[in-house]
Chain A
Amino acid sequence: MLHKNTSAHRAGRTRLLATLVAAGSVVGIVGIPTVQASASSGIVLTETSYYTSVDQNGPIYTALNTVFSNFEKSHPGITIKREDIVNSGNNYLTEVAAEAAAGTLPDILMLDNPTVPTLASYGVLTPLGSLGKTAIPNLGTAQQAEAKFNGQVVGYPLYTNTIALFYNKAMLAAAKIQPPTTWAQLLTDAKALTTPQHDGIAFSAEACSGCGVWTFLPFLLTNGGNLTHLTSPQSVQALTLWTDLVKEGAVDKDFTNWNQGQPEAAFAADKAAMMINGPWFFGTLNSVKGLNYGVVKIPVNTPGQNVVGPIGGEVWTVPKTNPTIEKAAFELLNYMAQPSVDAALATAAGDIPTVQAAIPIWQKTASPLYSPFLAELQHGFVRTSTLGVLYPRVETAVGNAIVASLIGKQTPAAAFASAQTEVNSILEGN
């Protein structure tokens, strides 16, 4: 999840530079192509991702440069041209939509995973199976499903992430509190950790793409709730927990205006004892002097429940162009899906590799703080799995319902009841 990349986020990427240098050299040594370049000469592949302009000098941008230049060396005749999208933090999808409408999509396109079905439904993405044997069987089970639209592989999800509970070790120690593992503990702990100096917990709850619903999903799904069955007791219980956290005064109520960046800023500035957020902030947080933090899995309602992590991360696709270009782009994707390359990319992105053989390589340098995320992803949830192209609309409807309940406009049950009506009408195709 890299929506609304903040400056803090960017700083985090710079912090990871050291890791990258190591990773980059690994790519250099191991980067032997599995697919021989076709006899074609003089192919130029254009590439677009939102890293290009947002994280101009960030680790992932540089890591991709290394990967691409290694690919060019082993595939004479193919050159990769990176095309930036101006202000990609806000404009990325709009620009991609415009390019798709004009038929000028790049030859390799990176997409945030919930938007893949939307684009694939217009038939602008090449079904990769038609170009040869895909690397999809090498990926985790959830990613194998995520890669497909209508049964066809339309992209490679090469690295992933999810969210977990970050806690400030000093604040918890001062209050003699262990990191919470259940909802009940979370509620009492958050309340106990609320002081005039800091809030108990911070999380994003704005009704925007990749904000509130994304943060809420692990609570909803772990408890057996569902975005399409919001009126079920399990769903309402999850929203009740969040609403209670607010009622207890344990959350900064600015959350209605918060995407992922602001909770991180609050946590980094000692203004929140806990936060729900993702591993892409490790870099920034590690650079904060005197901040000692830990990460645990999202607390569960009933002990024994498996935490379900919503699957974040980007998907690399091949827009339809012509067979020669598509084949060359497919070769590049397969090159990126090699374990060593994938491990390097995941490291640079602050994410977890999805190629199973890449995980041991990645783990050699990865921080142990990643383990709660890895555990949650074992039961990972693909957000578009059942909703497909309708996910963005459902996300808006549910996001607004969450906010309505948190600000006390409606009870959790009433908020989700009206959202259910809206979701039903979306599902019926209105």
Chain B
Amino acid sequence: MPREEPPPERQATWSVRATASANKAPVEARPGALPDDGRMPSLSGALRQATPPPPKGARQWLQSHRRQALLVAFVLPALAYVVIFFAYPLIYGVTMSLEKIGFIAQSGPFIGLHNYKEEISDPVTGKALVDTGIFLLASIFFQFTIGLGIASYFNRRFFLSGLLRSLIIIPWLFPPIASGTIFAIMFAGQGGIIDETLRSLHLISSPIFWFDSSFKAMFVIIFVNVWIGIPFNAVLLYSGLQDIPGELREAAALDGCGAWQKFRYVTVPLLRPVSLIVIMLGIIYTVKTFDLVIVLTNGGPDNGSQLMSTWAYTLAFQNFQTGAGAAVANMLFVFCMIVAFFYIRATRREVAIG
């Protein structure tokens, strides 16, 4: 079917330029019309000419609320985006977790909190929760401390420090799935570079087999996650350190502070706001780590390195218990929300202070 040509008036709402040429005569009669000096029209001007003159009351209302109406119009696309891509999947995820729903995620019978009850009583969920906690705390601790060490190191300028500082970011640029695959090969028992190196140094006599116990598997995923997270911490903490005026440390030195005291009483308090943000973003990144673990251990051995994220995936996409998987994913989501709440509060306070 041929598309109908829109009437000129409607066309005008689509194109500011079209309005300028097609509706020239009436436009000139109205206030806020296109200036004849050849400048580009302002958007508000265009909006005004596009709308036919409303009756007096409404016109007055529109004039007095023009700003608000315009603001709403600007917010709408963002709002639509949030509703379609965040709110809807979120609500869908919640309804799924309340239904008996299997492989094909159409709707199933409503079963209330059954999925949650069952998953909470499942020992694997408990273990996944504990492991997620350990993974989180260990990752954040080492990422932050090592990151801070590197940031302090780069805080003094030295030969090639700029270049090295840029190179430090590289692990963060790799897709986790690529890093994970490479580390899986490196940690392999036979021919893996880590065991081979340890063996050639005579530190071990037989391969360690990094994936045959829960403890070792957890060590590996934490190790790799720390490796990935260090650049993020180092870069942000470095910029935080750069913001601390050198005079403060000088003053402290004059007052007789040693290196440790300068660090403890000048750097740490002034770095606190940045640290909070780094740690909280780190928590959010870490708690939803998924691809890395799937590639390295797939949650094994015997659920030995199963995190909440990988457990949700296993339930939904390996066991086809989609409702149960959604329930576990939602538990993880609630946790993230709590962290995000504190994050927002912390950053707000920061704005207030700043």
Contacts and interface: CB of A to CB of B under 8 A. Distances in A.
Q: Do A and B come from one complex?
A: yes
Contacts of B105: 97-98, 101
A396 B190 contact: no
B233 interface: no
Interface in B300-354: 300-303, 314, 317-321
B104 A271 contact: no
A257 B320 contact: no
A257 B190 contact: no
Given A94-B317, A393-B319, A404-B302, A254 B104 contact: no
Given A400-B303, A430-B118, A253 B212 contact: yes
Interface in A160-185: none
Contacts of B207: 253
B50 interface: no
Contacts of B213: 407, 409
B318 A209 contact: yes
Contacts of B303: 400
Contact of B300 (A124, A207, A393): A207
A404 B123 CA distance: 15
Interface string B227-260: 0000000000000000000000000000000000
A392 interface: yes
Interface residues of B, number: 29
B191 A271 contact: yes
Contacts of B297: 257
Given A199-B190, A256-B211, A392-B318, A97 B300 contact: no
Contact of A392 (B190, B298, B302, B319): B319
Given A254-B188, A254-B189, A206 B104 contact: no
A332 interface: no
B104 A396 contact: no
A122 B103 contact: yes
Most chain A beta-carbon neighbours within 10 Å: one of B104, B190, B298, B320? B104
B196 to A, nearest CB: 13
A396 B212 contact: no
Nearest to B303: A400
Interface in B11-52: none
Nearest to A115: B103
Contact of A208 (B102, B104, B212, B318): B318
Contact of A407 (B188, B190, B302): B302
A100 B104 contact: yes
The dominant DSSP class at the A interface is helix
B88 interface: no
Interface residues of A, number: 35
A396 B319 CA distance: 7
Contacts of B106: 101, 122
Nearest to B124: A400
Contacts of B209: 253-254
B59 to A, nearest CB: 47
The secondary-structure label for the interface of chain B is: loop
Nearest to A259: B298
B103 A97 contact: yes
Interface in B50-107: 102-106
Interface in A99-120: 100-101, 118-119
Contacts of A118: 102-103, 320
A345 interface: no
A403 interface: yes
A199 B188 CA distance: 14
A403 B319 contact: no
A93 B317 CA distance: 8
A252 B210 CA distance: 12
A266 interface: yes
B171 to A, nearest CB: 22
B125 to A, nearest CB: 13
Nearest to A208: B298
Contacts of A254: 188-190, 209, 211-212
Given A206-B300, A396-B314, A407-B301, 10 more contacts: A207-B302, A208-B318, A254-B190, A257-B298, A257-B300, A266-B190, A271-B191, A392-B320, A403-B302, A404-B302
16 contacts: A97-B103, A97-B105, A101-B106, A118-B320, A119-B103, A119-B104, A121-B102, A122-B102, A122-B104, A271-B190, A392-B318, A392-B319, A392-B320, A403-B300, A403-B302, A407-B213
Interface of B: 102-106, 118, 184, 188-191, 207, 209, 211-214, 297-298, 300-303, 314, 317-321
